[in-house]
Amino acid sequence: GQQLNQSPQSMFIQEGEDVSMNCTSSSIFNTWLWYKQDPGEGPVLLIALYKAGELTSNGRLTAQFGITRKDSFLNISASIPSDVGIYFCAGRGINTGTASKLTFGTGTRLQVTL
Amino acid sequence: EAGVAQSPRYKIIEKRQSVAFWCNPISGHATLYWYQQILGQGPKLLIQFQNNGVVDDSQLPKDRFSAERLKGVDSTLKIQPAKLEDSAVYLCASSSALQGYNEKLFFGSGTQLSVL
């Protein structure tokens, strides 16, 4: 089945630093989504991408849909303590009977120190 | 707008017991999902409903898991009998769009299940 690998698995950064994380797939996706999950809560949608090469921002967050359609990137600028959490990428495949099924990555745990 | 509601928030049971989780999706959302999230992993789809019909249950362990959405609104997920490896957070999600590339899922807070 489809697999999504996220890197890094975890990262410690200082407040104010920029953060980059990425997600790679073994197959092509036609949609990429980025979610953030706080402890004890469900994932919350941050950014949705629908076209190869698309670059979309949401405040301090910017995500890109890779040209190969097998990867996506998330950047967070000027991190703040509330950015702490687990970031998941999710992809939706094409040309399958369950085309709408989302496959989630393994997550990147972000910790921000003052 | 109210979000996806789930209950209970936490459940502790012994192996071989049964347990049920409840989900109320966002009003008007026709599509409902149950996901299993094991500690340290991303959510994994168990079952998808479109109104009261099952769209995809290919990853549901049907020998012990069952789910229903009788009136196309609320849904329950049941495990009987539970095993140690069922310890996880069970997330419910809903969306308004029919299956399509631009469908966006909204998640509830989940039920954390511990099987002892």
Could you list the pLDDT tens digit for every one of the 116 residues in chain B?
A: 689 999 999 999 999 999 999 999 999 999 999 999 999 899 999 999 988 899 889 999 999 999 999 888 999 999 999 999 999 999 999 988 665 666 788 999 999 999 99
Are the beta carbons of B51 and B57 closer than 8 angstroms? no
Task: Please give the pLDDT value at position A57.
Answer: 96
Task: Please give the pLDDT value at position A98.
Answer: 47
Task: Please give the pLDDT value at position A10.
Answer: 95
Q: Within chain A, which residues score under 50 in pLDDT?
A: 98-99
- Scored b (16 or more CB within 10 A) or e, A14-39 reads eeeeebebbbbbebebbbbbbbbbee
Residue A82 carries which DSSP code? G
Q: Which residue, among B19, B17, B28, B14, has the nearest Cα to B111 in the 3D structure?
A: B19
State which residue of chain A sits closest to B4, comparing Cα positions.
A42
DSSP states of B39-95 as a string? TTS--EEEEEEETTEEEE-TTS-TTTEEEE-TTSS-EEEEESS--GGG-EEEEEEEE
Q: What does the alpha-carbon distance between residue B114 and residue B116 come to, in Å, rounded to a whole number?
A: 6
Helix, strand, or coil (residue A83):
helix
Are the beta carbons of B47 and B60 closer than 8 angstroms? yes
Residues of B in contact with A28 (CB under 8 A): none
Chain B residue set in contact with A, beta carbons under 8 Å: 4, 40-45, 48, 55-56, 58, 91, 93, 99-110, 112
Residues of B in contact with A25 (CB under 8 A): none
Task: Please give the pLDDT value at position A93.
Answer: 78
Angle CA A99–A103–A108, to nearest 5: 155
Are the beta carbons of A29 and A89 closer than 8 angstroms? no
For residue B52, count other CB atoms closer than 10 A to its CB.
14
State which residue of chain B sits closest to A41, comparing Cα positions.
B109
Task: Please give the pLDDT value at position A1.
Answer: 52
- Scored b (16 or more CB within 10 A) or e, B7-39 reads eeeebebeeeeebebebbbbeebbbbbbbbbee
Mean pLDDT, chain A, rounded, equals: 90
